[in-house]
């Protein structure tokens, strides 16, 4: 065991200063988007419930997207869904040993990160 008092090596765990590799960004994005998608489940079940209760309920749900806050949440959801979808496919491919070498893994991570952003852009065009 090292004596803690004599260990003077610098420690830098400032997450804002550490530059993460692109594969790590795809990975943590998958995790963050997963949690956001989990939190969105009750809202979607509510929309399913309301929209099937009758014509007024259906209109209520379609009218939800007139609200600015809902539009913002929809964009957050669009990123989460797109990133989680594509990063998930990337992980499934890695599981069956496709794209394991570093160069390919970096490229696919970049593609996944970009596709998440493209998902938001498409959602923007559709709802704004």
Binding site for other proteins (CB under 8 A): 31, 34-35, 37-38, 41-42, 45, 48-49, 51-55, 57-59, 81, 85, 88-89, 92, 95
**CB nearer other proteins, residue 10 or residue 85:** 85
**CB nearer other proteins, residue 34 or residue 99:** 34
Q: What angle, 0 to 180 degrees and rounded to 10, lies between the N-to-C axes of helices 22-51 and 102-127?
A: 30
Q: Least CB distance from residue 55 to other proteins, whole Å?
A: 4
**CB nearer other proteins, residue 10 or residue 42:** 42
Q: Least CB distance from residue 96 to other proteins, whole Å?
A: 10
Q: Least CB distance from residue 54 to other proteins, whole Å?
A: 7
């Amino acid at each position: 065991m090292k004596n803690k008092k004599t260990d003077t090596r610098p420690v830098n765990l400032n997450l804002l200063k550490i530059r993460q590799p692109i594969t790590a960004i795809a990975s943590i994005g998958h995790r963050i988007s997963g949690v956001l998608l989990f939190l969105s489940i009750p809202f979607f079940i509510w929309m399913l419930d309301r929209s099937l209760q009758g014509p007024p309920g259906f209109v209520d749900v379609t009218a939800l997207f007139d609200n600015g806050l809902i539009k913002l949440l929809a964009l957050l959801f669009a990123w989460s869904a797109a990133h989680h979808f594509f990063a998930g496919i990337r992980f499934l491919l890695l599981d069956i040993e496709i794209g394991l070498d570093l160069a390919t893994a970096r490229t696919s991570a970049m593609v996944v990160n970009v596709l998440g952003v493209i998902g938001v852009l498409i959602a923007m065009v559709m709802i704004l």
